[in-house]
Amino acid sequence: MDTARLIRRADCVWEMPREGAMRVPAILYGSEALIRDMDDKVHEQARNVATLPGIVGASYAMPDAHWGYGFPIGGVAAFDPEAGGIVSAGGVGFDISCGVRCLLTGLRHEQVLPVQRRLADALFAQIPAGVGSTGHIRLNSAATEAMLTGGARWAVAQGWGLAEDLERIEEHGQMQHAKPACVSMQARRRQREEMGTLGSGNHYLEVQRVSDVFDASIADGYGLHAGDVVVMIHCGSRGLGHQIGSEFLLHMAEEAPHFGLTLPDRELACAPIRSDLGVRYLGAMRAAINCALANRQILTHLVRQVFAELLPQADLRVLYDVSHNTCKLETHRVDGRARELFVHRKGATRAWGPGHPELPPALRDHGQPVLIGGSMGTGSYVMAGTAQSASLAFASACHGAGRQMSRHQALRTWHGRAVVDELAARGIVVRSPSSRGIAEEAPGAYKDVSAVVDAAHDAGLARKVARLAPLVCIKG
């Protein structure tokens, strides 16, 4: 991206001034190197988002931003229903509520190393992964309805987890105002055998050690110490979320002229928040969020079973669970007054600051744990929401490394077996049903996650707390 088209407001803050049909400016977060390496499509898409009705503040792009469908991945935008604001399926993404859960284990690195390979094999055997993967759970119509309404709370009630898990999950494990009736039969069918599965693409389950601590006070409050072992689960709403996204994007594109919407890009298909189509999409999307929360809860239960067998002294507790691809109704102060806004975060993580009432009491003084998943083999990060994050991008931060190479290009560059061998030489055990999938997700296909995290930290979006180095990686 040509930085000459931007105004540098701070070391890691860049502005695209209003021009043409833009209703607000666009703000891009990142170091100069990250901004220069961003696809020009990010500039175009951030500008296009700024033209949408009812947008408030600015169109934002996080330091890991890259080209996406309609909105850039790493895009954040808030819309006011009182000002004709819209909801966009492309502003949420296809993998609705794709997110990350981090589990504390109570174990030290030296306790896990002797069983590292056995642990990898057992997790791979227990956790279904890959394209079209199915699990042992079969949902009938009534169970599907209950899952779409209850989320992780439903899963816990079925025996997959602990009541105390819910305190450490966004929305306390259940997205309110979900409308399963707005979820098509095809979406339901796609999910009936996919509960408790990882899926493919960039989804993974990793056993990690805390390799570095940057803020000892917050890390201690989170229960993280150098040498501790944690588990990170990265997945979403599987086939159900993809089906909902695909169906509503088509409906929104068809209905745009009836709403008087002139869009710079068909991929920005949207509907007024208070239209029947907007209400139906929000109801279906919230049901998909519940699906993802239930899915990660079931996976947590399966992981606990594996650890109980191999490392019975382990005590797996949820640190936090955050979603990336969502649109949520939130209260934010804008121009000195509180406003109810629909905040789209596509490939971006909510990052409440210290004292926020939605955080559990044990975490409230420290700010929300912001879980940043790295690319396979490169490491992940735990950050914390800051006091100023709400005023920067509606309390949002980056969500991962962000791709810098297409999957096709990655396949031409790497072979899956070679990637597995290279990681094994570094002490990282990888298990996957797909050599092709490993090549597509090779570490070099992603941006430097440390550079992304440093930029988010320097911009004030979130504060660095700890780095997590992989020991075992289960890939789809």
Catalytic residue flag (residue 258): no
Name the nearest CA neighbour of 395 among 350, 329, 462. 350
Looking at residue 15, its amino acid is E
Question: HSE on the CB side for 310, CA within 13 Å?
Answer: 22
Looking at residue 213, its amino acid is V
Instruction: Please work out, in degrees rounded to the nearest 5, the angle formed at the alpha carbon of residue 275 by the alpha carbons of 272 and 277.
Output: 95
**DSSP secondary structure letters along 105-148:** EEEEHHHHGGGHHHHHHHHHHHS--STT---S----HHHHHHHH
Q: What whole-number distance in Å separates Cα of residue 199 and Cα of residue 448? A: 24
Block residue for tokens 């055998």: 193
Contacts with 237 (C-beta within 8 Å, 6 or more apart), sequence order: 95, 96, 97, 98, 191, 244, 288, 289, 291, 292, 295
Alpha helices of 202-335 — where are they, by DSSP H?
A: 216-222, 238-255, 276-310
Q: What whole-number distance in Å separates Cα of residue 393 and Cα of residue 57? A: 9
**Cα separation values, 355 from 358, 362, 365, Å:** 9, 11, 6
Name the nearest CA neighbour of 440 among 419, 421, 424. 419
List the catalytic residue out of 324, 344, 399, 457: 399
Length of the chain: 476
In 3-state terms, what secondary structure has residue 361? helix
Contacts with 249 (C-beta within 8 Å, 6 or more apart), sequence order: 69, 89, 90, 267, 269
Q: What whole-number distance in Å separates Cα of residue 453 and Cα of residue 398? A: 8
Contacts with 470 (C-beta within 8 Å, 6 or more apart), sequence order: 206, 207, 208, 374, 376, 377, 378, 379, 380, 428
Which pair of tokens denotes residue 2? 């040509």
**Cα separation values, 272 from 286, 290, 340, 349, Å:** 17, 23, 15, 24
Q: What whole-number distance in Å separates Cα of residue 60 and Cα of residue 25? A: 9
Task: Find out whether 348 and 373 touch, Cβ atoms under 8 Å.
Answer: no
Active site residues: 399
